[in-house]
Amino acid sequence: MILFFCFFLMSGFCSLVYQVVWLRVAMADFGITTPLISIVLSVFMAGLALGSWGGGHLVRRFESRPASFFIGLYAASELAIGVSGLAVRPLLGLGRALLAARVEHAAWGSSGYYLASGGWIGLVLLPFCTCMGATFPLAMAGIRAAFHSESPRSFSYLYLANVLGAMAGAFGSAFVFIEWIGFSRTLLLAAALNALIAAMAWAFARSAIGSLHRSPRPTASEPSQDIGDPAENGRSSPLGGRANAVVLPLLFATGLSSLAMEVVWTRQFVPFLGPVVYSFATMLAVYLAATAAGSRIYRVWIGRAGALNPHLRTAAAAGNAAILAGCCALLPLLAADPRIPSRHRLLIGAVRVAWGIGPFCGVLGFLTPMLVDRWSAGDPGRAGRAYAVNALGCIAGPLLSGFLLLPIVGERWTLVLLSFPLFLGGVCFSLPSPNKSGLWQPKAACALVASVLLIILTRDFETLYPGAQVRRDHTATVIATGQGMDRMLRVNGVGITNLTPITKMMAHLPLASLESPPQRVLILCFGMGTSFRSALSWGVPVTAVELVPSVPSLFGYFHRDAQTVLASPRATIVIDDARRFLERTQETFDVIVIDPPPPIEAAGSSLLYSREFYQLAARRLRPGGILQQWLPGGEPIVKSAVAQALGGSFPYVRVFHSIEGWGHHFLASATPMIPHTAAELARRLPLAAAGDLLEWGPAATVETQFQPVVTGEIPLQTLIDADPHAPMLTDDRPINEYYFLRRTFR
């Protein structure tokens, strides 16, 4: 049995690595949008559900076969999963190329592009995810044939190993392997581990099974030990029948609530953790660690309670656990209360996450394997169906919370609504019967009182900003706050931008540097809309692309003339991912202005600094066009990596210090850019553009406004030499996002 534990420990590690890397690769190829992320996660969970159900059906069909047959099938599944480490990334890249070629010949709308990209992602990922889902029933069938005495609780045994491995995969991929060897080699590492599992399982099936002492199989009239046969107990006991009828709905509810709440937690805890990959990895690791702890507690508990009418005891424990889970689901309201003192550091924020979501995840770690064990009693087919139901809930959860509940009712009431099915399931499990007293009532009442207190006494993050305007959509919670020049835009609690002449210079500097009058401008990342407004002052059509739908709706909070600006026939705002827009559009531009959201380490930000992105943007520039890239700062290795990516994508790159002395404006072009004095640049500005540039100062004339920028030009090689050993920033090596090893071990 220990060998199966090792198999699922390594398999869980690989599964999380695949999920993390596949999601990132898909974002690079098809865009960082919420629908796209939902597609990838839904395909992943749908494959698990399909594989679990299909594997269970296969086991039932061949249940008379020896253990070596099922373990051989398990080995084949692991080997097939390992193939994904070699095949998925190039296949997704092929899909991107095919769609890009198709876009050139057909003006597809956004929905059509989503449909096509989603179909391709499903075609590529679903077979491998199905193999992942099939591993549980196949391994359980092998255990039932080889170790019959361990069979009734085999799902929880494998589940514990799988969750522990997944926790290691979350930590290993985020904190070590991606930074150390990049995405591609991390996939190869996972593929090698899958191949090792397959080889070990195959060797075990060939050499060890024949010598195992096999217990006789249970007959139809012989109930399994420890857990009890659910069908038999359901017929003989009113409690058993009622409780078993709740098992599958409750499994669906646990999957739905847990994955739906992950979306809510992201918004609640990012203000305390920061919008970096380690924040999400920390939440995922806490989730998996607590789940593993709960599963381990269940394994110990059922081992001690197995002899004392286990069927009734598991019903009572499941009811109590479901009610407790409903109450613990509201703990993030307290953990994310901004009145609790905390610094914006990952370690301090991780403590909030640990006591905020840890109890809920621990209870679900106890409850989920208990429900599957109860429903299956070691039967791989029934376990497969039960696990498939749980996976279906995991598919529905993020869609429900992200696209429906969060935009309408916000984080607080989303958690309340998601906790309700758990309370309901617990009450249904705990309803009194001739064999059971009504002790569940005071427990449920206490949980209800605690839940009401959590709802009433806690506060949300936006309460820190009285009078702020708050918008919620399926992507983020957006806050506009402050007065005068101190106005601030916050997305999921993180400060994105403020009113500064730097954002005006992002538009005016490249437009004034053109050798011919501009005809069309593209702004990537809308923010407060300052660069968009400044570009429109040149009297040319301007398109702005923004990922978060609620951000442009706050344009008027920061600029009083917003309605006039938006009424211009030259103004166009597109809600889309920047890379996805560049891939789909057939337009070309004289200037492309890029201002990625800070901080420089923000998760996903490298996709707007990488060589692949610059090569894509270069194809959308007209002859003589200029790309302006803003880099707010960062470590020498990051500056060098970005400078190399630009230098490797454009033959001509100029670098300027900002008007405020921090950060850099990069101007990149396929043709030489003639250096101009500040006076020459000033003469190129139309009257309206000159007035816009001087609106916030600090200089009194356009020439003196340009002067510190022009005189602050530095050679590109200076930034590259800041860290000559830095690799070029690519989609495969996002140096800016992954920094744990270099900052920890220098």
For residue 461, what are the CA distances in angstroms to 273, 335, 686? 13, 11, 43
Residue 667 forms beta bridges with which residues? 628, 654
**Count of Cβ atoms closer than 10 Å to residue 695 Cβ:** 14
- 696 and 656 Cβ atoms separated by less than 8 Å: no
Bin 467: left if φ > 0, else alpha if -120 < ψ < 50, else beta. left
Rounded to 5°, angle at Cα 498 from 494 and 500: 150
Q: What is the pLDDT of residue 343?
A: 58
For residue 244, what are the CA distances in angstroms to 251, 316, 428, 556, 729? 11, 12, 10, 56, 54
> Edge-to-edge strands of the sheet including 664-669?
571-575, 542-546, 521-524, 589-594, 621-631, 664-669, 652-657, 713-714
For CA atoms 546, 552, 555, 561, the dihedral sign is: positive
State how far the Cα of 139 lies from the Cα of 267, in Å rounded to an integer. 38
Q: Phi/psi of residue 482, each to 5°?
A: 95, 170
For CA atoms 392, 394, 395, 399, the dihedral sign is: positive
State how far the Cα of 515 lies from the Cα of 214, in Å rounded to an integer. 84
Digit-coded pLDDT (tens) for 233-272 = 433 333 445 556 888 999 999 999 999 999 999 999 998 8
Element (H, E) at 604: none
For residue 245, what are the CA distances in angstroms to 205, 453, 483, 544? 37, 32, 57, 53
Contacts of 604 (CB under 8 A, 6+ apart): 27, 32, 737
The domains of the chain, with CATH numbers, are 1-210 (1.20.1250), 224-463 (1.20.1250), 498-745 (3.40.50.150)
Which residue bears the tokens 């409690």?
A: 239
Q: What is the pLDDT of residue 347?
A: 66
**Count of Cβ atoms closer than 10 Å to residue 567 Cβ:** 9
Q: What is the pLDDT of residue 3?
A: 87
Element (H, E) at 456: helix 440-457
> Position 568: which residue type?
S
State how far the Cα of 529 lies from the Cα of 537, in Å rounded to an integer. 13
Digit-coded pLDDT (tens) for 660-710 = 999 999 999 999 999 999 999 999 999 999 999 999 999 999 999 999 999
The per-residue DSSP string of 163-226 comes to: HHHHHHHHHHIIIIIHHHHHHHHHHHHHHHHHHHHHHHHHHHHHHTGGGS--PPPPPTTSPPST
- 144 and 380 Cβ atoms separated by less than 8 Å: yes
Predicted model pTM: 0.89
Element (H, E) at 506: helix 501-513
State how far the Cα of 696 lies from the Cα of 738, in Å rounded to an integer. 36
Contacts of 392 (CB under 8 A, 6+ apart): 45, 49, 252, 255
Q: In the chain, which residues have pLDDT < 50?
A: 105-106, 212-240, 307-309, 433-435, 437
> Position 178: which residue type?
I
Q: What is the pLDDT of residue 236?
A: 37
**Count of Cβ atoms closer than 10 Å to residue 220 Cβ:** 8
**Residue 668 carries which DSSP code?**
E
